[in-house]
Amino acid sequence: GENVEQHPSTLSVQEGDSAVIKCTYSDSASNYFPWYKQELGKRPQLIIDIRSNVGEKKDQRIAVTLNKTAKHFSLHITETQPEDSAVYFCAAPRSDSTLTFGKGTMLLVSP
């Protein structure tokens, strides 16, 4: 089955800095890679996703890059703000099309 590794487990940055979270996956057939943000006490929310026919996707301060050859994808957040503080989960599909989640990255943005 699909195995997703996520790093780092915690990330502390100063407001205005960039943050990068990386995930690797094992199944070369995987073709869909979402990122979820979960604020404390709240539900996971999809913030961006990418399909395997593109290498990069941007949405304002958030971008995701995909390297199919190396089987890794990354979340990039620029000009971080305190409200970006949350746990971020990457995910990749299993053969039954359900998602396998990474272990999560706790991002702390200090003012």
Q: Which residues bind another protein (CB under 8 A)?
A: 31-32, 34, 36, 42-46, 49, 51, 87, 89, 93, 96-99, 101-104, 106
CB of 97 to another protein, least distance (A): 4
Based on CB atoms, which residue is closest to another protein, 83 or 96? 96
Residue with tokens 């890059």: 65
When the beta carbons of 32 and 54 are compared against another protein, the nearer one is: 32
CA distances from 65 to 50, 55, 106 (A): 8, 6, 20
Q: How far apart are CA 42 and CA 72, in angstroms?
A: 27
Minimum CB distance to another protein smaller for 80 or for 105: 105
* Rounded alpha-carbon distances, angstroms, from residue 5 to 67, 72, 84, 111: 15, 9, 22, 29
Nearest-approach distance from CB 84 to another protein, in angstroms: 18
